C-alpha cells in the first residue's frame, strides 16, 4: 500500500514530465522563423539506411 506522500510524488513527477514533453513538442512543431520552410523527418533511420546501402558497393 502506498502512502499519500508517495502518491503525491508520483503525480508531481508525471506532471513535470507532461509539461516537459509539451514544451518540447511546442519547440519542435511551432518554433520557426517567418518565411522559412522546414520539414520533419519522422523516420530518419530509413533515410540513413537507404543512403548507406546505396553507397556500400560503389565505394569498394
Report the alpha-carbon distance of residue 44 to residue 51 in Å, rounded: 11
Report the alpha-carbon distance of residue 31 to residue 1 in Å, rounded: 44
pLDDT at residue 29, as a whole number: 77
pLDDT at residue 20, as a whole number: 95
In the chain, DSSP assigns E strands to none
Predicted confidence (pLDDT) per residue in 37-49, tens digit: 666 666 666 677 7
pLDDT at residue 14, as a whole number: 96
pLDDT at residue 3, as a whole number: 93
- Whether the full predicted model's pTM is greater than 0.85, yes or no, is no
Predicted confidence (pLDDT) per residue in 13-35, tens digit: 999 999 999 998 888 777 766 66
Q: What is the mean pLDDT of residues 3-19?
A: 94
Residues near 29 by Cβ (< 8 Å), separated by ≥ 6?
40
Amino acid at each position: 500500500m502506498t502512502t499519500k506522500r508517495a502518491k503525491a510524488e508520483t503525480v508531481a513527477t508525471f506532471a513535470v514530465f507532461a509539461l516537459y514533453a509539451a514544451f518540447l513538442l511546442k519547440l519542435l512543431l511551432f518554433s520557426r522563423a517567418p518565411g522559412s520552410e522546414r520539414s520533419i523527418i519522422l523516420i530518419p533511420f530509413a533515410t540513413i539506411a537507404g543512403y548507406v546501402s546505396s553507397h556500400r558497393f560503389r565505394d569498394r
